[in-house]
């Protein structure tokens, strides 16, 4: 059977996705022929009889096939989205793993609404975006794919006339032409800036809109299950959604991730956080055009506006005067003025130190909460609970840092850095990496009783020590100015012993990332073990028990707990799915991961510490991939704690998050099943 006949059979049996694919392939064929690419047009598979021989294949054929496979993915994703919509049109609890069915099952099990709402506030999900060599799409191509997907969806609108459909078809051909001429892949290996641009595309253009979709779907599920919608909105019982980033921070095996790269990454993440927030505030200005003069506003709002005018000086008066007689808009204009960015032609382009500017995102969140209260008093309750909550949720998700940057390095690299610091300090013994664990611990614990660093500021260091210290100095400088929310944690790859973790405290001490309190030393950035091999997973519970017993760890976790007002201290532990599979195979890996997570949870319970697991998963089964809801359900008792952090590696990011509907679905699977597992 030829490819064309196989395709026709598949179209007859499976229907819509292959009808959409045929449309796109025919349009692509037309585009190629119009541009003199007849030979390539005739090589399009499934709609042509002739197939090129191996000898006839050129680089253009390879580009064609790459483009076509992306079109296949696109129509399959669209078909899956439409199938879910069709099911939910019958009943909101008809799709497995989503809010509707999960909340229904919890209520059917006898759980009161108050307990469900309280548990929702404890749910936290954090996808961590990473680069991966199998993801080669450019940010420009991602945007073209998004445009094409939207056009494909528009074509299904039954309200469109024939002429309007023809116009959509014309736009589809134009989008395909741009894709063909742009080229699907990089001509050279993507550098870190290319990878960062891809990550920023999702963080800036996709996820801010997806959070709103996800929240609306949760509210619909609450209503569907006859819960009190107003009480739910008033309790702000939404799950916590944040994002992490490894691009620009993960230096394990990545020598090109320098201190300068990390510095640049932190600044770009911060600038783009303000881009996102500014967009949301401008939209909010348009939606609060209520005629209410300043003097008629409630006292708390008047007082805060006066404070803001005083904080920002005469430069803010113009912003305030812009919408006279519309006090809510005037208030939001002042919020926009207090964002520490320079705006040129309506776009945030540069970070600035503005007089009276917000320093931390909580300050903006407090002003938004006041706006919400004032709108409720005014009588605009739906605007307060809908539009203002949308902005609050974005500020909660992205803060002023957009995504928390993890700093990952291998334990062996840290050992070399310590050896070179000892050499620079002219210590008698410097072969730290060859010492016994007992000797290493004795040395580290003695050193950590003092705030004195090994070396002076301008000391000449070896390459590993220089790389670590320069990176930590960048982090110290950035966090002193903007706070520690921008950094996720220091992750130690190949954690084999307690000393591998405590070594990071020594390195942090070198640049002032530790503080000597009355009770002893405290670290500003938490340290996280990464357990990768089966042996490491087996030894992990003992290492964690020792780590949680260490006084610096206890003090550090207590400080973080106080900062975030958590009910108990939280220690993150990362477990690796790919390396454990390479070490022992899928079955041994999965069983070792299950046992380790259960045992690590028990260690946390015994220490009074909540363990937050960070799942280092990839896009294939061998790297831990699989249906999200089944993955969460299969975790051992006590492991999720309503808190899911996991890597989304390059090639899976576009697959899961390229368009908002599919992105919302994948985040909903995470959040809804984290809730169910928690309860």
The answer as to whether 337 is a domain residue is yes
Q: Which domain holds residue 160?
A: 1-90+138-183
Query: Nearest-CA neighbor of 176 among 202, 218, 144?
Result: 144
pLDDT of residue 620 exceeding 80: no
pLDDT of residue 417 exceeding 60: yes
Give 635's pLDDT tier (boundaries 50, 70, 90). Answer: confident
How many whole angstroms separate alpha carbon 591 and alpha carbon 385? 45
Which whole number is the average pLDDT over 653-669?
91
**pLDDT at residue number 556:** 97
Render pLDDT for 465-475 as a digit per residue (tens, 0 to 9).
999 999 999 99
Give 675's pLDDT tier (boundaries 50, 70, 90). Answer: very high
pLDDT of residue 339 exceeding 80: yes
Q: Which of 147-161, 217-231, 628-642 has the lowest mean pLDDT?
A: 628-642
pLDDT: is 628 or 65 the higher one?
Answer: 65
pLDDT of residue 373 exceeding 90: yes
Which whole number is the average pLDDT over 476-498?
96
Give 632's pLDDT tier (boundaries 50, 70, 90). Answer: confident
Three-class SS of residue 583?
helix
The answer as to whether 188 is a domain residue is no
The answer as to whether 172 is a domain residue is yes
Give 2's pLDDT tier (boundaries 50, 70, 90). Answer: low
Integer-rounded Cα Rg, in Å, for the chain is 27
Render pLDDT for 340-356 as a digit per residue (tens, 0 to 9).
998 777 676 788 888 88
8 A C-beta contact, residue 349 and residue 278: no
**pLDDT at residue number 669:** 94
Which tokens hold the place of 614?
């960070």
Please identify, among 157, 183, 209, the residue that sits at the C-terminal boundary of a domain: 183
The answer as to whether 548 is a domain residue is no
Q: Which of 269-283, 365-379, 492-506, 584-598 has the lowest mean pLDDT?
A: 584-598
Q: Which residues pair with 613 in a beta bridge?
A: 573
The answer as to whether 649 is a domain residue is no
pLDDT of residue 312 exceeding 70: yes
Q: If phi over 0 gives left and psi between -120 and 50 gives alpha, with beta otherwise, what is residue 468?
A: alpha
Which whole number is the average pLDDT over 321-337?
91
Give 8's pLDDT tier (boundaries 50, 70, 90). Answer: low
The answer as to whether 158 is a domain residue is yes
**What is the enclosing helix (H) or strand (E) of 441?**
helix 437-447
* Count of the separate structural domains present in the chain: 2
8 A C-beta contact, residue 594 and residue 549: no
Give 239's pLDDT tier (boundaries 50, 70, 90). Answer: very high
Tell me, yes or no, whether 294 and 172 share the same domain.
Answer: no
Tell me, yes or no, whether 161 and 306 share the same domain.
Answer: no
Tell me, yes or no, whether 31 and 175 share the same domain.
Answer: yes
The Cβ of residue 473 has, within 10 Å, a number of other Cβ atoms equal to: 17
The answer as to whether 419 is a domain residue is no
pLDDT of residue 619 exceeding 70: no
Counting residues of the chain whose pLDDT is more than 90, the rounded percentage is: 59
Q: What is the 3-state secondary structure (H, E, C) of 195-258?
A: HHHHHHHHHHHHHHHHHHHHHHHHHHHHHHCCCCHHHHHHHCCCCEECCEECCCCECCCCCCCC
Give 21's pLDDT tier (boundaries 50, 70, 90). Answer: confident
**pLDDT at residue number 143:** 84
pLDDT of residue 634 exceeding 60: yes
Please identify, among 361, 379, 397, the residue that sits at the C-terminal boundary of a domain: 379
pLDDT of residue 88 exceeding 70: yes
Render pLDDT for 533-565 as a digit per residue (tens, 0 to 9).
889 999 999 999 999 999 999 999 999 999 998
Please identify, among 316, 345, 379, the residue that sits at the C-terminal boundary of a domain: 379
Per the confidence metrics, is the pTM higher than 0.85?
A: yes
The answer as to whether 33 is a domain residue is yes
End-to-end CA distance of the chain: 53
pLDDT of residue 133 exceeding 60: no
**pLDDT at residue number 14:** 59
């Amino acid at each position: 059977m030829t490819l064309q006949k196989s395709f026709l059979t598949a179209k007859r049996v499976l229907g819509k996705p292959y009808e959409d694919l045929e449309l796109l392939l025919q349009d692509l064929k037309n585009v190629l022929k119009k541009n003199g690419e007849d030979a390539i047009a005739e090589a399009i598979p499934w709609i042509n009889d002739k197939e090129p021989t191996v000898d006839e294949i050129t680089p253009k054929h390879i580009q064609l096939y790459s483009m076509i496979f992306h079109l296949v993915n696109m129509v399959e994703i669209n078909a899956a989205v439409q199938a879910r919509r069709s099911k939910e049109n019958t009943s909101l609890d008809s799709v497995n793993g989503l809010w509707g069915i999960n909340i229904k099952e919890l209520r059917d099990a006898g759980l009161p609404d108050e307990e469900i709402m309280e548990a929702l506030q404890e749910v936290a999900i954090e996808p961590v975006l990473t680069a991966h060599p199998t993801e080669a799409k450019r940010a420009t191509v991602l945007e073209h794919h998004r445009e094409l997907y939207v056009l494909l969806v528009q074509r299904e609108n039954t309200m469109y006339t024939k002429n309007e459909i023809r116009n959509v078809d014309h736009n589809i051909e134009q989008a395909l032409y741009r894709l063909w001429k742009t080229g699907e892949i990089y001509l050279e290996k993507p550098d870190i800036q290319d990878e960062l641009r891809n990550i920023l595309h999702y963080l800036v253009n996709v996820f801010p809109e997806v959070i709103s979709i996800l929240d609306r779907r949760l509210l619909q599920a609450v209503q569907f299950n006859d819960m009190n919608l107003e009480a739910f909105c008033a309790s702000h019982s939404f799950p916590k959604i944040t994002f992490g980033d490894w691009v620009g921070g993960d230096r394990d095996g990545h020598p090109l991730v320098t201190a300068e790269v990390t510095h640049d990454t932190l600044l770009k993440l911060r600038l783009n956080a303000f881009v996102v927030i500014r967009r949301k505030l401008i939209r909010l200005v348009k939606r609060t055009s209520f005629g209410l003069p300043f003097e008629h506003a409630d006292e708390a709002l008047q007082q805060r506006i006066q404070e803001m005018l005083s904080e920002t000086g005469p430069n803010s008066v113009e912003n305030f005067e812009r919408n006279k007689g519309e006090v809510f808009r005037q208030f939001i204009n002042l919020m926009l003025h207090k964002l520490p960015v320079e705006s040129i032609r309506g776009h945030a382009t540069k970070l600035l130190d503005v007089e009276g500017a917000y320093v931390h995102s909580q300050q903006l969140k407090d002003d938004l909460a006041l706006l919400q209260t004032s709108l409720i008093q005014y009588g605009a309750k739906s605007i307060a609970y809908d539009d203002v909550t949308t902005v609050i949720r974005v500020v909660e998700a992205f803060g002023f840092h957009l995504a928390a940057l993890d700093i990952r390095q291998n334990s062996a690299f840290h050992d070399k850095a310590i050896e070179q610091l000892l050499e620079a300090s002219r210590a008698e013994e410097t072969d730290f990496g060859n010492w016994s664990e007992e000797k290493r611990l004795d040395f580290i614990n003695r050193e950590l009783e003092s705030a004195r660093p090994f070396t002076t500021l301008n000391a000449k260091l070896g390459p590993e020590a220089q790389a670590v210290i320069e990176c930590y100095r960048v982090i110290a400088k950035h966090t002193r100015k903007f706070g520690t929310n921008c950094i996720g944690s220091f992750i130690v790859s190949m954690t084999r012993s307690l000393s591998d973790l405590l070594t990071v405290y020594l390195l942090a001490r070198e640049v002032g990332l530790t503080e000597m309190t009355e009770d002893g030393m405290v670290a500003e950035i938490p340290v996280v073990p990464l357990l990768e091999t089966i042996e490491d997973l087996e030894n992990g519970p003992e290492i964690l028990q020792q780590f949680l017993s260490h006084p610096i760890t206890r003090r550090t976790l207590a400080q973080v707990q106080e900062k975030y007002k958590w009910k108990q201290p939280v220690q993150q532990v990362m477990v690796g799915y790919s390396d454990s599979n390479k070490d022992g195979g899928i079955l041994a890996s999965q069983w070792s991961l299950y046992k380790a997570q259960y045992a690590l949870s028990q260690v946390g319970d015994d220490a009074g510490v909540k363990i937050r697991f960070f799942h280092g998963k990839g896009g294939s089964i061998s790297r831990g991939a699989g249906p999200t809801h089944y993955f969460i359900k299969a975790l051992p008792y006590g492991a999720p704690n309503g808190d899911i952090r996991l890597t989304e590696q390059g090639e899976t990011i576009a697959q899961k998050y390229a368009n908002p509907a599919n992105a919302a679905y994948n985040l909903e699977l995470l959040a809804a099943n984290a809730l169910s597992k928690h309860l």
